[in-house]
Amino acid sequence: MSNIVSVLFDGVVYSSWLFLMAAGLTLIYGVMKILNIAHGSLYALGAYVAATIAGAWLAAGHAAIGSYAMLAVAALLVGAVMGPLLERGLLRWMYGKDEVVLLLVTYAAFLVLEDAIKLVWGVESMLLPEPYALPGNFQIGTLAYPVYNLILIAVAVAVGLVLAAALYRTRQGKLLLAVIHDREMSAAMGINVDRVYLVTFTVGSMLAGLGGALTAPTIAVSPGIGVEVIVLSFAVVVVGGLGSLGGAALGALMVGIVRSAAVRYWPEAELFTIYFVMALVLIARPRGLFSAPEARKI
């Protein structure tokens, strides 16, 4: 019994983390039709910036509780700086090219950012254990869990709800949905598509940064952390259906729980199971679980 509970709980924690990454990725794809490989670098940047400024905050002797605010600031910073930089500086020159070419462009951006991170922060790993250790542990049955995991789940749920509300309940969100549906027609109706793109990409980058910032306290922040994240969040997004927020949530839950079950019962197959789930879903539903059929253009 406690086995199943712990598998589910670990799975949900992992899913929350996956969802934060996947939500940004799927949002950007849905609006801009760009599968952003550089998302992993933005995640890594979030982790580095968080480790740096929260570390500086704690080193300056301020209250430890403020380090959580620093994590959020790191995410905002990454989004606000890198989002416009990438979108205005690079991607807008590429609009109109094939989706696959755009994929390659973001791959190139990923390669550049990976080295840029190494140049700025060096190759030594950074640690930021305080925010993780601070809230202590709680018990489920006989097992102790860090409270930090609950924070992670809460943030993911909040992000999901806020995004859904912003998309479906606000005027700006409806404009965004219109752009997703038909970019050219929306532009003709007077929607400023350029601005929608910029805002979308910035918000997506912020989410990646948030994922990284929240992960920073739980890992050793070191070069290469962005690499595995990309492929994982791709798997999630593709399972859910590219461009679907609900799909990203469901995909994250599926992948997260399957992984935690694999880690528990069959650790050799951990990586294998994730991609196996992805391949299975794609075989059954070629465009993911939640995706509208698309008309073929002749």
- Give the binding site for another protein (CB under 8 A): 35, 90, 93-94, 97-101, 103-105, 107-116, 118-119, 227, 231, 234-235, 238, 242, 267-272, 274-276, 278-279, 282-283, 286-287, 296, 298
Dihedral pair phi/psi, residue 266, rounded to 5° = -150, 70
String of b and e for 3-16 (b: at least 16 CB within 10 Å)?
Answer: eeebbebbbbbbbb
Q: With respect to another protein, which residue has the nearer C-beta, 2 or 115?
A: 115
With tokens 């994929």, the residue in question is 103
Shortest Å, Cβ 108 to another protein: 4
Query: In whole angstroms, what is the distance from residue 234 CA to residue 255 CA?
Result: 11
Shortest Å, Cβ 180 to another protein: 16
Please name the amino acid found at residue 68.
Y
Shortest Å, Cβ 20 to another protein: 20
Shortest Å, Cβ 290 to another protein: 15
Question: How many Cα atoms within 13 Å fall on the side-chain side of residue 63?
Answer: 4
Query: In whole angstroms, what is the distance from residue 130 CA to residue 27 CA?
Result: 32
Query: In whole angstroms, what is the distance from residue 261 CA to residue 8 CA?
Result: 8
Q: With respect to another protein, which residue has the nearer C-beta, 93 or 168?
A: 93
Shortest Å, Cβ 34 to another protein: 10
Three-state DSSP at 61 gives: coil
Contact 131, 71 (CB under 8 A): yes
With tokens 């995909």, the residue in question is 251
Q: With respect to another protein, which residue has the nearer C-beta, 115 or 182?
A: 115
Shortest Å, Cβ 265 to another protein: 14
Query: In whole angstroms, what is the distance from residue 138 CA to residue 153 CA?
Result: 15
Shortest Å, Cβ 232 to another protein: 9
Q: With respect to another protein, which residue has the nearer C-beta, 12 or 278?
A: 278
Query: In whole angstroms, what is the distance from residue 93 CA to residue 110 CA?
Result: 17
Tokens of 91: 């991607």
Shortest Å, Cβ 287 to another protein: 7
Q: At what angle do helices 270-284 and 245-265 cross, to 10 degrees?
A: 140
Q: With respect to another protein, which residue has the nearer C-beta, 104 or 219?
A: 104
Closest by alpha carbon to 237, among 254, 259, 256, 252?
Answer: 252
Query: In whole angstroms, what is the distance from residue 104 CA to residue 106 CA?
Result: 5
